[in-house]
């Protein structure tokens, strides 16, 4: 046996050589892309982002992420979580370690600052020395992170290590939303979607700075949320869906998981219990809720307007109180949506009575009412929001009723059905979707201005935009993605970007650039012929 001390000197040169080679290897690996980059396309321009940023000042040297880059976060634990989220995305696709640190110079920096950024705005500064995101809130940093993602090559969205170079164009983006409410609705009643499917959609919404997830939790076909004081709502009323499938419901723990996940992506969950119509699932679960005391059978078709809670009965309000109390307790968000659409089986006086009794219950449990715009035909409570779902050709009287309420202080969320109902077919050939509001191709879904959409509505009344996805024909995530993408991106831009940044020609080019990102994220989108998608 050789003495141990003799081994070291002989091995050292080898070790050194190996280390040197490795170092050279690393340098070579990193230098190659740089050489390529010099002769290749410049980095993605700062304004090729959806939603279009409020203001962009290009210029200066791009920043390049390398193996040595650190993600520096000074600020709260929450800001650090946003930094960790960004590093998590970048580590997978770059293969770089990207450690999270609190100090040092350069690199990718996330900082909180008291400046004038608004509740969700941010600034992105990029130059040879680093990229800095600055915001007043972690939500602002998070939205800035989404912009940063879109400024890196689409390969950044892959789950395994890809070749760079990872460059971000030089300059400054200053950005903040036009509207505070930028929502997407998912109807989990017509078809039920699991927590995992909802989380997947939340991640997709977050890409475009959507900040509200409205869950349509009850309808004729299914009751989807556990209510302890009325357990059959979920166990019996939740056991169906359109077409006769098994349905399902969220336990309170499930629902909390959704709320928590949404919050981690800076979305607020807006739960909806649709009343007094669209209530067959509840009426079939409890006979005593019916005026005649007879429970109707479960319903798995797609008709609307045939069910109503029994407005004169006292038990109706015990039921409403219990449901709203339990749901409000589960909901950290500000809003509780009470539906109110298509109450065709409720007389008008009953409808008004019902809304007069139910809106104060929402307030009592600390929430703000949202209702579909038919609520404006009753007496919207102080501070309530009405969600407009009419069409271009909705009658003048109905539009004026909504506009008048808006002038009297009711805020509006705009969801015009012939523009941003994501469940409308794109063309006659679309494999799923409805057509009652018309065929809605990508251009039609995008080409309208929320600020000028309803005549006679003061600017300040428009609180935002929401893209609803009703699910009569939607069964799984592939179906969700086919209808939501690309139209959802346009709805998000209408909610975020200032009016002067909107415009189909610019949008369509930016939209095309999203295609390869969606491919890398596994989003199965509709390749509309109206959009110049790059070849796959």
Query: 154 or 237, CB closer to ligand NGO?
Result: 237
502 torsion bin: left (phi>0), alpha (psi -120 to 50), beta (else) = beta
The CA–CA distances, whole Å, from 443 to 40, 105, 448, 504 equal 32, 45, 9, 7
Nearest distance from C-beta of residue 189 to ligand NGO, angstroms: 9
| Cα angle value 478/482/483 (rounded, 5°) | 125
Check binding of 372 to ligand NGO (CB under 6 A): yes
Report strand pairing: 122-127 vs 166-168.
Answer: unpaired
The span from the CA of 242 to the CA of 247, in Å, is 8
Residue nearest to ligand NGO (CB): 470
Check binding of 321 to ligand NGO (CB under 6 A): no
Which of 423, 441, 466, 481 is the binder for ligand NGO (CB under 6 A)? 423
Nearest distance from C-beta of residue 190 to ligand NGO, angstroms: 6
Burial degree of 27 (CB within 10 A; 0-12, 13-18, 19+): exposed
Check binding of 421 to ligand NGO (CB under 6 A): yes
Query: 73 or 242, CB closer to ligand NGO?
Result: 242
Using CB under 6 A as the binding criterion, the count of chain residues that bind ligand NGO stands at 10
Check binding of 120 to ligand NGO (CB under 6 A): no
- Per the annotation, the verdict on 342 as an active-site residue is yes
Write the DSSP symbol of residue 500.
G
Binding mask 436-475 for ligand NGO (x = CB under 6 A): ----------------------------------x-x---
Count of Cβ atoms closer than 10 Å to residue 42 Cβ: 9
Query: 164 or 411, CB closer to ligand NGO?
Result: 411
Give the end-to-end CA distance of the chain in Å, rounded to a whole number: 62
Count of Cβ atoms closer than 10 Å to residue 361 Cβ: 20
Check binding of 342 to ligand NGO (CB under 6 A): yes
Omega of the bond prior to 2 within 30 degrees of 0, cis? no
Query: 113 or 342, CB closer to ligand NGO?
Result: 342
Cα 194 to chain centroid, rounded: 17
Is residue 468 within 8 Å of 483, Cβ to Cβ? Answer: no
Check binding of 426 to ligand NGO (CB under 6 A): no
Which of 434, 439, 516, 524 is the binder for ligand NGO (CB under 6 A)? 434
The span from the CA of 355 to the CA of 520, in Å, is 47
Check binding of 304 to ligand NGO (CB under 6 A): yes
Query: 470 or 533, CB closer to ligand NGO?
Result: 470
Q: Which residue, chain included where needed, has tokens 């170092």?
A: 23
Q: Which of 78, 342, 398, 400 is catalytic?
A: 342
Which of 122, 388, 389, 482 is the binder for ligand NGO (CB under 6 A)? 389
Nearest distance from C-beta of residue 421 to ligand NGO, angstroms: 5
Check binding of 175 to ligand NGO (CB under 6 A): no
Query: 146 or 346, CB closer to ligand NGO?
Result: 346
Nearest distance from C-beta of residue 470 to ligand NGO, angstroms: 4
Omega of the bond prior to 159 within 30 degrees of 0, cis? no
Residue-wise DSSP of 243-271: GG-----B-HHHHHHHHHHHHHTT-EEEE
Check binding of 341 to ligand NGO (CB under 6 A): yes
Check binding of 432 to ligand NGO (CB under 6 A): no
Q: Which residues bind ligand NGO (CB under 6 A)?
A: 304, 341-342, 372, 389, 421, 423, 434, 470, 472
Active-site annotation, residues: 342
């Amino acid at each position: 046996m050789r003495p141990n001390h003799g081994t070291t000197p002989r091995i050292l040169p080898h070790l050194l050589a190996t280390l040197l080679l490795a170092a050279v290897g690393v340098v070579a690996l990193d230098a190659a892309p740089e050489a390529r980059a010099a002769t290749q396309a410049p980095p993605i321009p700062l304004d090729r982002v959806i939603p279009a940023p409020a203001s962009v000042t290009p210029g200066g040297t791009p920043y390049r992420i390398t193996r040595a880059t650190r993600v520096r976060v000074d600020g709260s634990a929450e800001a650090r979580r946003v930094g960790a989220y960004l590093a998590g995305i970048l580590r997978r696709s770059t293969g770089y370690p990207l450690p999270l640190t609190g100090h040092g110079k350069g690199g990718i920096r996330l900082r909180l600052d008291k400046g004038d950024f608004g509740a969700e705005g941010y600034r992105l500064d990029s130059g040879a020395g680093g990229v800095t995101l600055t915001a007043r809130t972690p939500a602002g940093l998070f939205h800035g992170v989404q912009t940063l993602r879109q400024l890196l090559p689409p390969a950044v969205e892959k789950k395994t290590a890809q070749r760079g170079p990872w460059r971000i164009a030089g300059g400054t983006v200053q950005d903040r939303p036009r509207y505070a409410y930028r929502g997407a609705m998912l109807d989990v009643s017509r078809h039920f979607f699991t927590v995992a499917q909802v989380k997947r959609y939340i991640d997709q919404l977050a890409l475009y700075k959507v900040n509200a997830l409205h869950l349509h939790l009850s309808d004729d076909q299914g009751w989807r949320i556990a209510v302890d004081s009325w357990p059959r709502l979920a166990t019996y009323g939740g056991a169906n869906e359109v077409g006769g499938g098994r349905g399902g419901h969220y336990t309170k723990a499930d629902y909390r998981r959704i709320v928590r996940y949404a919050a981690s992506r800076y979305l607020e969950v807006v739960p909806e219990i649709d009343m007094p119509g669209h209530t067959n699932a509840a009426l079939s679960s409890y006979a005593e809720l019916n005026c005649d005391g007879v429970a109707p059978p479960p319903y798995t078709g797609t008709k609307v307007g045939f069910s109503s809670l029994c407005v004169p009965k006292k038990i109706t309000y015990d039921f409403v109180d219990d449901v709203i109390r339990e749901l409000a307790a589960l909901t950290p968000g500000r809003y509780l949506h009470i539906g109110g659409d298509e109450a065709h089986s409720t007389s008008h006086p009953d409808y008004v009575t019902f809304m007069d009794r139910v809106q104060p219950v929402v307030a009592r449990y600390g929430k703000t009412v949202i209702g579909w715009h038919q609520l404006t035909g009753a007496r919207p409570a102080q501070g309530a929001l009405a969600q407009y779902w009419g069409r271009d050709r909705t009658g003048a009287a109905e539009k004026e009723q909504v506009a008048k309420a808006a002038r009297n202080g009711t805020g509006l969320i705009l969801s015009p059905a012939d523009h941003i109902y994501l469940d409308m077919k794109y063309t006659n050939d679309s494999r799923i979707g409805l057509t009652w509001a018309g065929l809605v191709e990508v251009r039609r879904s995008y080409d309208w201005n929320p600020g000028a959409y309803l005549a006679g509505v003061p600017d300040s009344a428009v609180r935002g935009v929401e893209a609803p996805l009703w699910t009569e024909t939607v069964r799984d995530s592939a179906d969700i993605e086919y209808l939501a993408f690309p139209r959802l991106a346009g709805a998000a831009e209408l909610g975020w970007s200032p009016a002067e940044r909107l415009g189909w020609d610019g949008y369509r080019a930016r939209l095309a650039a999203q295609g390869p990102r969606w491919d890398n994220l596994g989003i199965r989108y509709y390749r509309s012929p109206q959009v110049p998608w790059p070849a796959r």
